[in-house]
Chain A
Amino acid sequence: MNIEETKELREFVFKITILGDAAVGKTSLISQFVESSFQEDYKPTLGANIVRKDVILDKTRVRLIMWDLAGQEKYRVVRSMYFQGCEGALLVYDVTRYHTLDSINSKWLRDFKKHVRKKGAYILIGNKIDLKDQRVIPTERGKELATKIKASHFIETSAKLGENIEEAFFLLVNQILSNHGVSI
């Protein structure tokens, strides 16, 4: 973390990661947050998709470096390096596929805790709520898991419609700031 404190504006750089099974919408969440855009066609991420966004919250400027990580086994050797300096994670599941919720605790949170040694913030996201007819995971199940894994927040999103996207990222940023003793 880098802090420059002036009378006017405090400045931080936070590296965060977005984790979850393939095709839960990790890249789409970032695209919607950064560019307000959504791609209908699915292209799996190869390696690490890294995106920067500068945001201002109250009198605090935060540069977010977002690492959208592919989960393929071939990256096992360098994977721990991808997490170096990471301050927080968005743990994402797809509300239309049950196994993506199961993977959060069994795989992605474990991955995050294994590689991020310092106290990291993480929130749980249920994505694709626009697919109402295909939904199989009720909101309550997400809330239960968030409580069980001690996620700081739980939120449901639609990367396609742009619903709750900024809120999700800002919840995580606020939690990281809070971990550093800064309140907005």
Chain B
Amino acid sequence: MIGDYKGTVKNKVVVALLQAYHDILDYDGMKSILREAEMMYIKDVRDENPNDSIDFFSFKKIISAQNCLLYDSSDLLFEIGKKFSFYLFPFGKSFEEIIDEINSSIITNWRVNIIKNNENEIILQVHRCIFCSEIGVPCDLLKGFLVHSLQKSLPSEYRLTYERDKEDVNDPNHNSFIAKLKIEKY
């Protein structure tokens, strides 16, 4: 891990992520990621105050371990992203509120901004995504997170498609991008 990892992450974010690992990979899968991150002690974080924080460097160790072990597993990362959204925001919140809250819950040099929002599409600008900052890692976790976060607020007859500019995972700046969520009625 090379870079500057200053910042804080609320415990509820860590709890939601661990719960997502648990749902998709079960207990041993979650443990595998924490073991690889040398962060096994954090598995009981759900007992802590959800609005307390851990340092961003520790959180980034978990994400790096996840990206190492889930190499070439984009479908799983997408599903983990969906579950992450489900557990972080279990109650009704608008997409705009969710984006505000994820920005304020993970405080570091990153940002997700809504730059266009109408009934047909939402366009987001993602600056220095923390989930895919490593070279070679595609951003499937955030994709799953965004898709689920918007999908759950739409009536069932609406279909959502995710588009983004062509991703070159070997470009060191690939974690800054524009994403589009297109909303269509069946």
Residues of chain A having any CB pair with chain B under 8 Å: 1-2, 13, 15, 45-52, 63, 65, 70, 75, 78, 81-82, 84-85
Contact = CB atoms under 8 A, between A and B. Distances in A.
Contacts of A2: 71, 136
Contacts, number: 61
Nearest to B73: A84
Interface stretch (B1-9, B22-30, B104-112, B143-151): B22-30
Given A78-B76, A78-B79, A85 B27 contact: no
Given A50-B33, A78-B79, A13 B28 contact: no
Contacts of B28: 45-49, 70
Nearest to B32: A50
A13 B71 contact: yes
Interface string B70-93: 111111100100000000000000
Contacts of A75: 26
B69 interface: yes
Contacts of A85: 71-73
Contacts of B76: 78, 81-82, 84
Interface of B: 24-29, 31-33, 36, 68-76, 79, 136
A30 to B, nearest CB: 11
Contacts of A82: 73, 76
Chain B contact residues: over half helix, strand or loop, or mixed? helix
A65 B76 CA distance: 15
A25 to B, nearest CB: 16
A5 to B, nearest CB: 14
A84 B72 contact: yes
B75 to A, nearest CB: 4
Nearest to A82: B76
Residue among A1, A13, A65 with the highest chain B CB neighbour number at 10 A: A65
A45 B79 CA distance: 21
Contacts of A81: 73, 75-76, 79
B10 to A, nearest CB: 26
Given A65-B71, A82-B76, A52 B26 contact: no
9 closest pairs, A vs B, by CB? A47-B26, A85-B72, A50-B32, A49-B28, A46-B27, A48-B29, A81-B75, A50-B69, A46-B26
A67 B44 CA distance: 24
Residue of A1, A47, A65, A85 with most partner-chain B CB within 10 A: A47
B71 A47 contact: no
Contact of B36 (A45, A52, A70): A52
A112 B28 CA distance: 21
Given A2-B136, A82-B76, A15 B26 contact: no
A163 to B, nearest CB: 25
